[in-house]
Structure 1
Amino acid sequence: MSSTLAFVILLLLVVKTSVVCQAQCSQGAIICETFGSGPRGPLSQSLTNFTYRAGGCPDDGQYTVMDTVSGDCHGQAWHSVRQDHTPNDVRGNMFVVNASYQPSEFYNQKAAGLCPGVTYEFSLWVLNLNRIMQPGACDDYSLRNPIIAMRIEQPDGTLINEVVQPAVPRTTTPVWVQLVMQFSIPTSSNDIVVKLINKGLGGCGNDLAIDDIGFRPVHPALAIQFANSTGSEMTACADTHLTLTVGAAAGYINPVYLWQQSQDNVNWTPAPTSGQTTYTINPVRAGRTYYRLRNTQSINAAAVGRAQCSAESNVLIVNGRPDSPFTLGDDVALCLGTAQVLQASGSLPAGTTFVWSDQSTNQQVTVTAPGLYWLETNLSGCLYRDSIRVESQNCHLSEIYVPDAFSPNDDTRNDHLVVLHAGAFTTYSFRIYDRWGSIIFSSRQVEITWDGTFQNQPCAEGLYAWTADYSILDPLNEEQHFIRSGRVMLVR
């Protein structure tokens, strides 16, 4: 009997990875075996040395899977069981076992991929099928009842935990008894070996039914709260910020964190840029959003999003009240001597009021000077603001400025004749002429300027003519060509 039970537990742990959990498994179960309902065949022979018997009453070393147990089995030695452990489970099955006679270790299997440092719990419901009877010669005058032992080891044989469950007693009517075992996987490995041992004798007695086998992680409690409130729900204006933080129950010690968000409290996604004990929602979304936190030991950092490996907090609800979002557009350049009209793009929701940075409440404002301007909307107390910077600009890009005098006397002031221009040239040629029209200076780069010399010799004081031949791109990104000329006084 114990052999078969142990086999079933390990079969679930190693072979099954995802089972729909019925009501009678513990909350948070990642494996939940209820044995289904309706007709079901034998288990794989590679997993048990028990012999399958379809229906009827199994003998020593045999088992079956069925939804009822007859009270006529073995001379009416068994209870009549009309349904499995799960209430309202129509034709729900149970695992019915007639234990082998001698106790022995009957199953040894490695389970891989669990989470180091996490405490796990096995639980199952057992029913002693044997009715209370007087002991006799068949059982050596000692009633034989189910005894279930579980042993957890590391792959090298080091003991992690061993639990020998108390014998399941006989009763006058069928009674389901829950058995529970917990163990923690050492941080040095995520693989374990489960050895299941039958401690009880078979023959006369030690017959049982098993149902609702569960396997779940047991995490420390983890709680979160709003930074300035102990409630579980808060209303805030959309496009503002709100801070969540770890509460009194901190979960794992020195853990890694993963904040999660959901629109329906069912499907969860990682919250952006989360990973600390606090998380700031910035901005708050309009509508209803759910938030929770997972944390786990750093050794399981890569699996912090898995329920098996991480503690899960309570859920906080944020109700985002809508505001009136808008945009003033990109920053703009304002030509000197002109004006710029600013207005919010798009329509604002009904009930929205607004004010400009100059406290105007008009639909639009006209600006004539550079600076930072903003518009703020108010919808039922929820504010939204957008800003725009206005820069001044010389819009007469065709013009250049050449000083009418300069003094190349090495006093570090006005020693070069510099051509000034508000934009950038696409082509550029600048020349200086003496009184007879001869070229004494030429440059095709605006940063190369005349220092008042010719052939490395200082030029005499007086008037000199210049010409500038250049091209620029106009506001339509088309190239425009210009020629300018003038005179400059060289002063020593």
Structure 2
Amino acid sequence: MFSAIRKFIRNTFLIANKLRIAICLVAWLFYSCFQAATAQVCADPSGGIVFNQTFGTASNPVSITGLTTYEYEPIDCPGDGQYTITSALESDCFNATWYTVATDHTAGDVQGNMLVINGGDKAGLFYQQPVGALCKGTSYEFSMWVLNLLKTGTCLDALIPNLTIRVETTEGLLIQSIDIGQILQTDTPTWRRCSILFTAPESNDEIVVKLINNQGDLGCGNDMLIDDLQVKQCSECVGQPELVYVPDAFTPNNDGVNDTMSVFLQSAASDSFTLKVYNRWGSLIFTSSDPAHKWDGNFAGTPCAVGTYTWEITYKSSSSPKRETVQTGRILLMR
């Protein structure tokens, strides 16, 4: 009889263990699929970055006055419906229910800042970012990194941020929208990338990205970090055949993404193309007569310093081959 009881207990334990493994596997698959479904990315990952918001550094912070509906609070632990911008978070916020986050998300940033959001009592818009100088009718990707600040197991009925990204025209007409869903708690502070694809409108070269939190209850949680808002170009400029377009920044850090200075040409004669790049003192550090030969951020085999560089492009339009056009601009080198 005791042998039968032991066998019954053992079999029950094995069945329960297998059931637990199966439940975990299903949950993992659901979470993975859900995460993938809420991320839209460029088919070509080498597209140039045309907008980059890192919120500055501790010594040179960026103001977002007018971009958020929340109230600014200069301390590191803002209250409900408030925000702050900081380079590090200590662990004593709200009885140590928030994670300690020693650095921002931006790679290689020295005392780089991040946006701290403490969710308010109303669901809705909490941040909006205008982005201009886009190529009309061209595909872009907006992305950002988000971190749920609430430690696991610190409170019952934790409130979880639930985000939506909307891309609109300056007149408020919807271009594209995606429900990111809940920014789930993690056992350690973990950044999550969220993104959306959109096509710039034909009527305007400026759009507005709006971040909406669908969680509007007061309580424990609904707190997050946000960093590295970027808009990346996914395709060559369309609808502007005479335009030579250069993104605002590139990151030659050998990660395989945006490592070179991209130049997008439409209907420009490549055999008459010349690119020159100058440093802040006006010294020529790179030249090319081939659009496929891109600047990799080096000079004489040595990496150039982080900063702004001036470029000059000379080309002849295919529609008017006898007329030479000179276009200049600036590009930010980041690492």
Name the TM tier (shorter chain): 0.5 to 0.7
> Percent identity over the alignment?
33
Residues 238-277 of structure 1 aligned to structure 2 (within 5 Å): 256-259=267-270, 260-262=273-275, 264-265=287-288, 266=295, 267-272=311-316, 274=318
Q: Is the 8 A contact 1:41 1:54 kept in 2?
A: no
Q: Is the 8 A contact 2:267 2:318 kept in 1?
A: no
1:219 paired residue number: 235
1:81 paired residue number: 101
Offset, 1:104? 1.8
CA separation of 1:27 and 1:67: change in aligned 2, threshold 3 A: farther
CA RMSD of aligned residues (A): 3.8
Counterpart CA distance in 2 for 1:198 and 1:78 is 19
CA separation of 1:96 and 1:26: change in aligned 2, threshold 3 A: farther
Question: Max radius of gyration: which structure?
Answer: 1
CA separation of 1:39 and 1:186: change in aligned 2, threshold 3 A: closer
Counterpart CA distance in 1 for 2:209 and 2:102 is 33
Q: Is the 8 A contact 2:145 2:226 kept in 1?
A: yes
Counterpart CA distance in 2 for 1:79 and 1:156 is 39
- 1:176 to 2:199 alignment: no
Offset, 1:117? 0.5
Deviations, residues 390-413 of structure 1 (Å, cap 9, x unaligned): xxxxxxxxxxxxxxxxxxxxxxxx
Residues 222-371 of structure 1 aligned to structure 2 (within 5 Å): 256-259=267-270, 260-262=273-275, 264-265=287-288, 266=295, 267-272=311-316, 274=318
Deviations, residues 262-304 of structure 1 (Å, cap 9, x unaligned): 362454523446469xx9xxxxxxxxxxxxxxxxxxxxxx9x9
Q: Is the 8 A contact 1:145 1:170 kept in 2?
A: yes
1:122 paired residue number: 142
Given the two structures, how large is their TM-score scaled by the length of structure 2? 0.56
1:463 paired residue number: none
The structure that is helix-richer by fraction is: 2
The one of the two structures with greater contact order (alpha-carbon pairs below 8 A, sep at least 6) is 2
Q: Is the 8 A contact 2:268 2:316 kept in 1?
A: no
5+ residue gaps, structure 2: 1-44, 238-263, 276-285, 289-294, 296-310
Given the two structures, how large is their TM-score scaled by the length of structure 1? 0.40
Q: Is the 8 A contact 2:56 2:62 kept in 1?
A: no
Q: Is the 8 A contact 1:32 1:214 kept in 2?
A: yes
CA separation of 1:64 and 1:156: change in aligned 2, threshold 3 A: closer
Residues 6-155 of structure 1 aligned to structure 2 (within 5 Å): 28-39=48-59, 43=63, 45-106=65-126, 113-133=133-153, 136=156, 141=157, 143-154=158-169
5+ residue gaps, structure 1: 1-24, 222-250, 280-301, 309-492
CA separation of 1:272 and 1:87: change in aligned 2, threshold 3 A: closer
* More off after superposition, 72-81 vs 151-160: 151-160
The one-letter code of the counterpart of 2:183 is: V
1:206 paired residue number: 222
Runs of at least 4 residues off by over 6 Å = 304-308
CA separation of 1:258 and 1:173: change in aligned 2, threshold 3 A: farther
Deviations, residues 333-377 of structure 1 (Å, cap 9, x unaligned): xxxxxxxxxxxxxxxxxxxxxxxxxxxxxxxxxxxxxxxxxxxxx
Offset, 1:108? 6.8
CA separation of 1:36 and 1:159: change in aligned 2, threshold 3 A: closer
Counterpart CA distance in 2 for 1:41 and 1:161 is 30
Q: Is the 8 A contact 1:103 1:200 kept in 2?
A: yes
Offset, 1:159? 2.8
Counterpart CA distance in 2 for 1:26 and 1:158 is 29
